[in-house]
Amino acid sequence: MLQIHLISPYHGGSHKAWAEGWQKSSQHSVTLHTLPDRFWKWRMHGGAITLARRFLAQTAQPDLLIATDMLDLTTFLALTRQNTGQIPTAVYMHENQLTYPLPQDGRTGPMRRQLGERDRHYAFINVASMLAADQVFFNSRYHLESFFTALPNFLRHFPEYNELNAVARLRKKSTVLPVGIDFDRLSQENELQKPNRTPLILWNQRWEYDKNPKAFFAALYAAAEAGRPFEVALCGQQYGKRPSIFNKAVKKLGDRIVHVGHADLPTYRRLLWQADITISTAHHEFFGISILEAIGCHTFPLLPNRLSYPELLPDLYHEACLYQSEEELAAKLVWALTNQEQVQEIGQALATAVSAYSWQHISPVYDKAMQKLHQSSVAHTSENP
């Protein structure tokens, strides 16, 4: 059994769910070193210093170090070099600061201080951390491909010694390791059949610009104008003040709204099993935990035919569940609201398909990858004593 230490400086939401799910399901011992999920820029600067200090204060030496993309791994390794010089390391890329989409309105949101422009320093922290690591894991094929498509142009911004040859080296040590989902925490009795009632549409993603709520509500308004009955539950994680578009939608949709605000686990579980349809209109999705949670509860998904979404669904269901435009989304939503029996059948079939993402199936893949990383390091050390 390997002793694995996981360094997570922005420990909340999907990062926390992933880390704790892996810790719980792995055959290895996974120890977490974490900081709260706030002040993301400071976490990428100062998190390495704080976590390095804490790491040095503990006595146990791990066999492997795994860092999330929010850690400046170069600083962490420099500050702990007397203890970590021979320990193999990997970076797990939940997201990255190079291809994360910029807001149209640079005056609001997480990039307001640089007026909506990309701050290349944070992207460079990602690149330097990947260079320092022995292995890089991306959570989806889309994430990996989009990052390496953008990386050469990013490096060309720099005036000289821009290290373009690093792209091939990074690509060679990068692979895909999907996120595991804890479907067990969402299970409940009587989960095989949706009740025969007004269809419930679920929003269970973050309430932020990159999830494109404008297009989501436009589809709902179109369905309402078409005369289709439906209800809406608006849950998901919310940071700071509620975006005004949600307040306007709640007022406009009126009695159709049955829930507003972040849901605790019992409420979230109930809404997932009550929901008939879940919709994403996201501009950004490197994986899609919340969508998989909804699908795992037999909810029919309507998703854009881009980003990571085509990876999540078997090809057989792409025609029914993926859309190319907002107009096609509106049309497919009206169809789904009109054909509840077919929607339920597809939802049940997809729930079986996405069970492949459960930690029960994914954890052995992680364990094998960690064992391989450790063995490669041991072999390299033996060859170069």
Q: What is the pTM of this model?
A: 0.90
Considering only CA atoms, which of 133, 164, 134 is closest in space to residue 151? 164
Contact 116, 102 (CB under 8 A): yes
β-bridge mates for residue 4, sequence order: 30, 64
Residue 187 has pLDDT above 70, yes or no: yes
- What does the DSSP assignment read for 62-90? PSEEEEETTS-HHHHHHHTHHHHTTS-EE
- Does domain 3-180+359-383 fall under CATH 3.40.50.2000? My reply is yes
Considering only CA atoms, which of 282, 275, 258 is closest in space to residue 340? 275
Residue 106 has pLDDT above 60, yes or no: no
Residue 191 has pLDDT above 60, yes or no: no
* Mean pLDDT within 63-70: 97
For the chain, where are the alpha helices, taking DSSP H only?
Answer: 13-25, 40-57, 73-79, 81-84, 120-132, 141-156, 166-172, 213-225, 244-253, 265-274, 289-296, 309-312, 318-321, 326-338, 340-354, 359-383
* Mean pLDDT within 249-274: 92
Could you state, in order of their start, the residue ranges of all structural domains in the chain?
3-180+359-383, 183-357
Looking at residue 378, what is its pLDDT?
61
Looking at residue 379, what is its pLDDT?
58
Looking at residue 197, what is its pLDDT?
83
Give the phi and the psi of residue 183 in degrees, each rounded to 5.
-65, -25
- SS3 of 107, please? coil
* Mean pLDDT within 247-264: 91
Looking at residue 244, what is its pLDDT?
82
Which residues, in sequence order, are CB contacts of 51 under 8 Å at separation 6+? 7, 9, 33, 35, 71, 76
Looking at residue 104, what is its pLDDT?
63
Looking at residue 165, what is its pLDDT?
93
Contact 318, 221 (CB under 8 A): no
Rounded to whole angstroms, how far apart are CA atoms 168 and 274? 47
Instruction: Quickly count: other Cβ atoms within 10 Å of residue 163's Cβ.
Output: 12
268-273: long-range contacts, CB 8 A cutoff, minimum separation 24: 268/186, 268/204, 268/235, 269/185, 269/186, 269/188, 270/188, 271/200, 271/202, 271/204, 271/233, 271/235, 272/186, 272/202, 272/204, 272/297, 272/299, 273/188, 273/191, 273/194, 273/297, 273/298
Looking at residue 339, what is its pLDDT?
94
Rounded to whole angstroms, how far apart are CA atoms 21 and 139? 15
Contact 294, 204 (CB under 8 A): yes
* pLDDT band at residue 380 under the 50/70/90 scheme: low
Between 107 and 16, residue with greater pLDDT? 16
Contact 300, 347 (CB under 8 A): yes
Looking at residue 51, what is its pLDDT?
97
Same fold for the domain at 3-180+359-383 and the one at 183-357?
A: yes
**CA 194 vs CA 197, 271, 341, 342, 363: distances in Å:** 9, 11, 10, 12, 30
* pLDDT band at residue 188 under the 50/70/90 scheme: confident
β-bridge mates for residue 277, sequence order: 201, 300
For 183-357, the fitting CATH number among 3.40.718.10, 3.40.50.2000, 3.40.50.300, 3.20.10.10 is 3.40.50.2000
As a three-state string, the secondary structure of 263-324 is CCHHHHHHHHHHCCEEECCCCCCCCCHHHHHHHHCCCEEEEECCCCHHHHCCHHHHHHHEEC
* Mean pLDDT within 199-224: 91
* Mean pLDDT within 241-262: 88
Contact 103, 109 (CB under 8 A): yes
**CA 378 vs CA 86, 374, 382: distances in Å:** 9, 6, 6
* Mean pLDDT within 196-205: 90
Q: Is the dihedral of CA 51, 172, 124, 82 positive or negative?
A: positive
Looking at residue 199, what is its pLDDT?
95
Considering only CA atoms, which of 352, 358, 272 is closest in space to residue 24? 358
* Mean pLDDT within 202-217: 88
* Mean pLDDT within 97-109: 69
Residue 170 has pLDDT above 90, yes or no: yes
Note the pLDDT tens digit of each residue in 362-372: 999 999 999 99
Looking at residue 207, what is its pLDDT?
76
